[in-house]
Structure 1
Amino acid sequence: MSERNFPRQFARTRRFSLGVPRRFGISPDGRRVVFLRSGGDDPVTCLWTLDVMSGQEWVVVDPRTLHEGEEEIPDEEKARRERSREKSSGVVGYATDADGSLAAFALSGRLYTTRLDGSQDKREQAAELRVSGPVIDPRPDPSGARIAYVAQGALRVVDSDGSNDRALAEPDGPEVGYGLAEHVAAEEMGRDRGHWWAPDCSGLLVARVDTSPVQRWYISDPANPATPPRQIAYPSAGTANADVSLWLIGLDGSRVAVDWDRAAFEYVVAVHWATALLVVVQSRDQKTTRILEVDPGTGATTVRREDRDPAWVEIVPGVPALTASGALVWTGDHGETRHLLVDDDRVTPPGLQVQAILDVDGDTVLFAATHEPTESHLWTYCPGEGLQRLTEAPGVYDGRLSGGTTVVSAQSLDHDGTVVTVHRHGKPVAEIASHAEKPVLTPRVELIRAGERELRTAVLLPSWHRPGSGKLPVLMDPYGGPGFQSVLAARIPTLLVSQWFAEQGFAVVVADGRGTPGRGPAWEKTIRGDVAAPVLEDQVAALHAAAERHPDLDLSRVGIRGWSFGGFLAALAVLRRPDVFHAAVAGAAPTDQRLYDTHWKERFLGHPDEEPDNYTRSSIIHEAADLRRPLMLIQGLADDNVIAAHTLRFSTALTAAGRPHTVLPLPGMTHMASQEAVAENLLLLQLDFLKRSLAMEDRDPAAPSS
C-alpha cells in the first residue's frame, strides 16, 4: 500500500484510533489491568484484562457475542459519544466497583455486568440485567452489590443480580433529567458524568439538570426533507445556561439538596467523593473557582479553597483529589508556571507546567507535566520522597497508577502509534499490544523554534524533495487555538496528515502560537479578549521563520487549511492577510463567536453584553467583503457543536458582497465527520482545491514516494 492510499487508511482506521489500547483501570492491589481495545480496522471495541504477574491478557467481553446486527445507540448516548469524540462501537466505556472485580457497561441501550477477577465462567462473558432502558452510563457501587444507571432522564438503581430495579430520581419537569452531564460540562469542562456513589454505598450524589432556561435550536437534515428537525438545548454565549443542582439521594428514598450560592457559581466543574465529598464550582465569568466540602448528611457546604484570576481559572483534569492521608491535591497558577499543589504547598519547581493529575495511589500523586511544550512526561510526587520523573525519552506520555502498578502509554517520533508498558514497583513487567495498523507513510518532522516568541513549529517536506531542487508551495496546517497542541514530538494523526500533504508536493508548516497549551498560564491567557489577531500574527511569524530556514519554500504560493478553530484561523488568514495567504480551506469554522457555547467563548471573550467589542474583533462574518483569495468552506449539517449557521451565514455574507467561494455541505455529518467515505474524500477534495487554487501541477506518478 503506497502513500496514495493514505486517505483511505486514515478514514478506515478512524484516524488510527482503532486497535489502540485505552481507558485503563488498575485493581487496587495492582495485579490486574482492565482496558478497551478493538482491531486495527475493526470499530467494535472489546473489554480486555491483563494479569500483571503473568503478562497474560484475554478478552473479557466481545460485544459481538452479546448483540447481533448493528448497534442501536440511544440519542443520549450518541450525544455523550459526540462530546467525547468517541469513534468506535461496542464496549466504549465501563465502570467498576472499588476492588475492580465487577464491571458494568451498556450495549445497545442494555445493561450488562461481567466479572473481572476470573470467577466468572469464560463461556459466559457477561450477564444482561433486564431493566428499564435505554441504559446510559451504568456504574456499580463500591461494593459491587448494585448498579446505578440513567434511563429516560431518571436515575435508577438495580441489584447486581438483576432484581429490585427502581427509580431513585425521576424527571419532575419536561426538560429535567437526572444523572448526566449537561452540554457545556461534557464539551468544555471535561466532566462527562452526573452521578457518584457514596463510599459507604448508602446513596449517590446526583446532578439534576433543568434545560428549560436554555434556548432551543433546531438541526435539520436537508437531504431528507421528510425527517423532522432535531431540537437541541444550546446555550450560546451570553444566553442562559442549564440550571444544574446537586442532590444527595439515599437508597432509602431520602433526598437532600447540596447548598451553595448557585447564582454566583452556576458551573459544576468536578466532583470527588472518597474520604470527603468535594465539589468544584465556578462563577459564570470563570474568574473565581471554589472547592466546596459537602456534609453528606445535611448538604451544607464549606469553602475549602478559593482561586481567583483576572483572566480565568483554568480547569485541569484530575483535580481535586485526596491522598490517603487526606491532603488536598490541586493545581495553581503562579506567574509563568502551573504548579502541583498538595495542601497548598507548591511541590513542583518554576518552569515545570503541570498538565493533568492522572492518579493518586496512597500518598503518591501521578501527574503529567512538561518543561518543553512539544513533550509531556510522567512524574510522581510523594511526601518524604519528593518529585520523581518516570519518563525520559522525548515524546508524549500518559499513565495510570494503582497498587504499585503503573501503566505507561508512550508516543514519540521514533515509532508508530502508542506503546503501552506495565511497570510493577518501577520495573517493567509486561507490554499491552496495540492492534493499530501501521501507517503507510512516516512523518518526517523537523521541530523548530520560530521567531522571537520561539513558536513551536513543525516543518514537513516531501520525502522525494532535495534541497535546492525546486520551489515548493507552502501549506500551513494549524489548529492554533486553545485546548489543543498540534506540534508534538510524536507521530500523532494530524502530523501524519500533514506528511501526506507534503508528499503531494507541499512544504507543510504547523505552528502552535499564543493561546495553545503547554507553555504555561501566561502564554495561554495572552488571547483573553482577542482570539484572532495574536494567533494569526504567530502563524505569519512561523511561516517566515520556516522560509528563512528552508529557502525552497515558495512564499508566493501559500495555502492554509484547518478544522474547527483551525478552520476559523484559515478563513481569518485569507481575509486579513491576503498578502501572505493565497488560498484557504476552512472546515467547521466558528465564524461568529456569539454562536458558540457559553463556557468556552466567555472564558476567552467575556460576556457579549459586557464586552461586545471582543466578539466583534474575533468574528469574521462582518469581514466577508474583504475576501480576495480562493476559499473553501466545509460544514457538517448535523454538527451540534459548531452548528451549520456559522458557515451558512458566512457564505450568505460572502455572496451578498459578491465574493466567489466554494461551499461543501456534508448532510448527516457531525463535528467529527468520521464516516469512512466522507473522511477519505474530504482529504482528496481539499487537496484538489488547494492544487487548483495555487496553480500546482500534479506530481509525476513515477516520482519517488514514501
Structure 2
Amino acid sequence: MDTSRLRPLFSLFVCFLALALSIPANAQDKTRYANIQEALFNSGNLSGESGPSNVVWINGGQQYSYTQRNSDTNASEIRSYDPASGEDELIFSTSDFNTPGTDETFQYDSFQWTDDSRFIVFQSNFRPIYRRSGISDYYYYEVESGELNVLVKDAMTAELSPDGSKVGYEREGDLYVYDLDSETETQLTDSGAKNFYNGRFGWVYEEEFGLAQAWSWSHDSQYIAYWQTDERDVKLFMSTDYSGTYPEYVEIPYPKVGADNPKIKIGVVNVESGENEWMDLDLQDGYIPRLYWTARPGTLATVWLNRPQNHLKLHFFDVQSGEGDLIMEEQNENGWIDVFDFFAGINHYFTFPKNLEEFFWVSERDGYNHIYRYDYSGELTNQVTDGEWEVTNIHAINPNSEYIYYTSTEVSPLERHLYSIKFDGSNKQKHTRETGTHSINMDENGTWYIDRYSSVDTPRQVELWSTTGEMVEKLVDNSEVSKYIEQHVYAPKELFTFTTSDGQELDGSIVKPIDFDPSQSYPLLLNIYGGPGAQGVYNSWESSGWVQYLAQQGYVIANVNNRGSGGYGGDFEKIVYKNLGHWEAHDFAETAKYLSSEYEWVDESRIGIRGHSYGGYMSSFSILTHPNVFQVAIVGAPVTDWRLYDTIYTERYMGLLENNEEGYAQSAPTTHAPKLQGKMFIAHSSMDENVHVQNTMQFVKALTDAGKDADLRIYPPGAHGVAYNRESYVLLYKTYTEYLEEHLKNLQ
C-alpha cells in the first residue's frame, strides 16, 4: 500500500486537532456528561478504537492473526493478515461451530497457535481464581480439516508443544499431556493434593512474579519443566461476603511479612518416558521466579533470588542428571533486583534466543536499565546499550542479522520509542517517528510491528510498519475522537516540570476545568498511584471519563512521577528502599504546594488526594504526614501496615522485618493515625484477596483510638477493585464525587 499520501493528511489532522484544543472554544455550546454513569461508560469515545485485537504472529512472523467481531453475524472471527501481500483471510468463526457435544454456539476466551500454525487451542468457559489464573475448558481446532474437538475440561492451564504434536495441561495439581494424533492422554505427575501442586502456583507467586502458568515446554517438545508448589505450611487468610444465614469463608494460603513462604522445587519430566528429575537447587529460603529453556538441548536455566530479592543467581541445569552450574550472579546492597515489570506488562528481564547460545539481560547495574550480552559460560561479552535513560522492553532478537529491537526512554521518561541495535552495540536506529508514548507488538524476527501510540495532542493511532522504514498501513486514525470533542466539552492533559524544595526535578500532568478562567479559584485533586516502578504521567492522550467529569465540575486534576517511579534510573526509583511512603508523600505534597504557589487559580485551602491500592496507601499516608497540605483523602483498598501484606512484594521493597522494624512502623498509616486533621473516605471489599480488609479495620481502630473519624464504605462481594458489578461501580464513583463536592469543592 502506498502510504506517501497518508502522511500529509495525518499531519494535517494532528495540526487541526492541536489547534482545536488550543482554542478556548465556547464550552457552553458543547455537550457535557449528564451524570457519573454517562462519564464512566462513554469514555470509549475519548480513547477511540485500538486496532486489531489478540494479535499473534504466526508462520514464522510472516503473518499475524487477530480477532474481530463480525458486524453482520456478531460472531467472533480469527483472521490472518500478510503484511507483505496485504492478504486478509478468515481462519475461524464462532458462527460456524457449536460447542462440541452441545447445541450452543461455541465461545472462547483466548487462543494459541502451534509454531507450525496447524492447530489452534482455545480456552473457553474461564472461571477466575486469582488475578491471572482460573479453571477453563480447552478445545483444539485443526486448521486444515476444520475440525473442533474437546481437549480437556476443568484445567488450569494448557499449551501446545512447539512441534504441534501434543498439548500439555495442569489439572487438579498434576500435569498431563495429550497426543493430538493418537488422541490419548498421559498423566505425567501424580502427587497433586490440597495446597500441593505440580505445574501450578499459589497466590503469592502468581501475583508478585506475574505468571499464571507454572510449567514450560522445551524447544524440542521432549521435556516439560515445572514448579512444584507446597503451600501446606503457609498460613491461611479467610474472607467472606457475609451472604446467607451462616456465611461461607474462602481460605487462601497467603504468606504475610516474616511468615513461611511456599516451598518450591523445580522438576523436569520426559513426556515420552515419564521419567522425572529434580533440579539440585539450594533455595536458602529464596525464590525461583523464572526458568528458561536454553538453545542447548536438555539445558534449563533457572533464576534464583534470595528472600529480600537483592541477590540474584543464574544456574544452568542438565535436566537428565539434575546437576547444575552457577553461570552468573548479581547483588544490589541499595535496593532490589527486578525480574519483571508489572506496570509495563514486561514479564522477562532475561532473554534466551532458542537458536543462539547467548543470552541477554536487562540490568540497572550502571544505574539505568540496559541490555547486557552474555555467553553460556557466564562471561559478559559486552554491554549493548548505555546512557542516562532506560531500556523498558526487548521485543525481538534476530540471531541472523544480530539485531535487538527494544523500547526505551531515551527521548524522554514521559515517552516510549522503538529502537534497534546490533549485538555489539553499534548501528543504533530509532524507528518510531511521532512524538508520544508508543506500544509495540512485533514479530519474533523484528521484521514487522504494530505501533499503537498517542500524545497529549494526538489520540491513539495504530499503524503497521516494516523495520525497513515503510509504514505498511494506517490501521486506525481515530478521527472520530476529534469529531467527538468538537461536539463535547473536553479538557486536555498538559505536562509540566518543576523542582522540589530539596532540588529534585519532577514531571507532572494537569487537567484544567472546563470553562477555565484564570481569575477564578479552583480545588485541586491529586489522582495518584505512586508505587515502586510505576509511572503515573506519560506524554499520552487523556481519556478518563471520570477525570473529564471532574473537570466539568470545576476541579483541577493533577498527577506526578514521584520518586520511586520507574523510567528515571535506579537512584530515583530506589530512594524509597526500606522507607516506603516517605518520599512519595513528600513529592505529592511538593506538587500540591508548587501548583498552588505557581498558579493563583489553584486554591491552597482546597487540595485533595485520591488513590487505590498502593494509591490508597499513599492517599492515606499523605494526608496524615502532610496535614497542612491536604484537606481531603479518597482511600481505596489501602495497605495501612506493610506487616499485613505479602512476603514477596513487601520484603522486596522494605527488607526483612527483623532488619527494619522501625522502617515498617514509620511506613504504616496506622502509626500516624493521630495526625489526621482533614476528611477521609475509605472504600474496601471484605472479599479483597490482595489487600485484606484487615488493613482497613486496623486503621479504623487506630483512628478511633486517637479520637479521629473517617467515613467508611464496605462492598462485601467485591475483590481488590471494590466494585463488583456495573451498579456498584457507578455508586462507588458517585460517592467519591459527592464526597469531594461536599468536603473539598464546597469547603468553607
**Counterpart for residue 3 of structure 2:** none
Partner of 2:525: 475
Find the residue that maps to 2:623 and give its secondary structure: helix
Cα drift, residue 446 of structure 1? 1.3
Does residue 278 in structure 1 map to residue 298 in structure 2?
no
Report matched runs for 1:307-456 at 5 Å: 307-310=330-333, 311-316=335-340, 317=346, 318-323=348-353, 324-343=355-374, 344=380, 345-362=382-399, 363-371=402-410, 372-383=412-423, 386-399=427-440, 400-403=442-445, 404-417=447-460, 419-423=462-466, 425-432=468-475, 442-451=490-499, 452-456=503-507
Whole-angstrom distance in 2 between the partners of 1:321 and 1:510: 34
Instruction: Please tell me whether residue 102 in structure 1 is matched to residue 129 in structure 2.
Output: no
The amino acid across from 1:620 in the alignment is: P
For the residue of structure 2 that corresponds to 1:277, the secondary structure is: strand
Unaligned runs of 5+ in 2: 1-30, 100-105, 126-135, 341-345, 375-379
Q: What is the rounded CA distance, in whole Å, between the counterparts of 2:746 and 2:302 in structure 1?
A: 56
Aligned residue number for residue 514 of structure 1: 563
- CA drift at 1:579: 0.9
- Closer/same/farther in 2, CA of residues 634 and 64 from structure 1, 3 Å limit: farther
- Counterpart of 1:394, as a letter, is T
Match of 2:326 among 274, 296, 303: 303
Tell me if 1:114 matches 2:141: yes
Quick one: distance in 2 between partners of 1:674 and 1:458?
30
* Alignment correspondent of 1:671: 720
Larger Cα-atom Rg: 2
CA contact (8 A) 1:472 1:505 kept: yes
| 1:262 counterpart residue number | 283
Q: Which amino acid aligns with 2:433?
A: E
Q: Secondary structure, in 3 states, of the residue corresponding to 2:652?
A: helix
Change over 3 Å in CA distance of 1:184–1:436 after alignment to 2: farther
- Which TM-score applies when normalising by structure 2? 0.83
Letter in 2 for 1:428: M
Question: Structure 1: how far apart are the matches of 2:416 and 2:324?
Answer: 36
Checking the alignment, whether the CA contact within 8 Å between 2:491 and 2:511 is kept in structure 1 is yes
Distance 1:436 1:64 in 2: 31
1:490 aligns with 2:540: yes
412-421 or 351-360, which deviates more: 412-421
**Match of 2:20?**
none
Match of 1:704 in 2: none
3-state SS of paired residue (1:165): strand
Q: Which string of whole-angstrom CA distances, capped at 9 and with x for unpartnered residues, describes residues 391-420 of structure 1?
A: 132222222232422232323323334624
Alpha-carbon separation, structure 2, partners of 1:587 and 1:413 = 27
1:622 match: secondary structure: coil
- Contact map agreement 2:66 2:78 (CA 8 A) in 1: yes
Determine if contact 1:380/1:390 at 8 Å carries over to the other structure.
yes
Please state if 1:128 is matched with 2:149: yes
Aligned-partner Cα distance in 2 for 1:299–1:437 = 59
Separation of aligned partners in 2, 1:273 and 1:8: 51
Q: Is the 8 A contact 2:291 2:300 kept in 1?
A: no
CA deviations over 1:12-70 (Å, ceiling 9, x no partner): 78996996645532125322113456799x999765433323445566455687678xx
Spell out, residue by residue over 1:369-407, the C-alpha distance to the aligned partner (whole angstroms, 9 max, x if none).
103211111122223653222213222222223242223
**Partner amino acid, structure 1, of 2:114:** D
| 1:204 aligned residue | 224
For residue 190 of structure 1, report the CA deviation from its aligned partner: 2.5
Aligned counterparts of 2:373 and 2:211: Cα–Cα separation in 1 = 22
Shift of residue 334 of structure 1? 3.2
For residue 156 of structure 1, what is the aligned residue in structure 2? 176
State the shift of 1:182 in Å: 3.2
Give 1:523's aligned amino acid. F
Alignment partners' CA distance in 1, 2:671 and 2:97:
54
Inter-partner Cα distance in structure 1 for 2:693 and 2:48: 27
Match of 1:76 in 2: none
Change over 3 Å in CA distance of 1:500–1:647 after alignment to 2: same
CA separation of 1:99 and 1:512: change in aligned 2, threshold 3 A: same
Aligned: 1:584 with 2:636: no
- Ranges in structure 1 where 5+ consecutive residues have no aligned partner: 69-88, 698-706
1:53 aligns with 2:81: no
Find the residue that maps to 1:467 and give its secondary structure: coil
Amino acid at match of 2:588: Q
Query: Are the aligned partners of 1:633 and 1:662 in contact in 2 as well (CA < 8 Å)?
Result: yes
- CA positional deviation for 1:428: 2.2
Residues 11, 675 of structure 1: 8 Å contact kept: no
| Separation (CA, whole Å) in 2 of partners of 1:480 and 1:651 | 23
Change in 2 beyond 3 A, CA 1:90/1:462: farther
- Cα offset, 1:590, TM superposition: 0.5
Give the Cα separation in 1 of the matches to 2:449 and 2:182: 34
Residue deviations 1:403-459, cap 9 Å, x none?
Answer: 422232323323334624243644222355599995876451111112232211101
Distance (Å, rounded) in 2 between the aligned partners of 1:148 and 1:206 = 11
More off after superposition, 224-233 vs 554-563: 224-233
Percent identity over paired residues: 21
Q: Which amino acid aligns with 1:520?
A: G
Query: Aligned equivalents of 2:167 and 2:459: distance in 1?
Result: 39
Letter in 1 for 2:315: L
Question: In the alignment, residue 445 of structure 1 is paired with which amino acid?
Answer: K
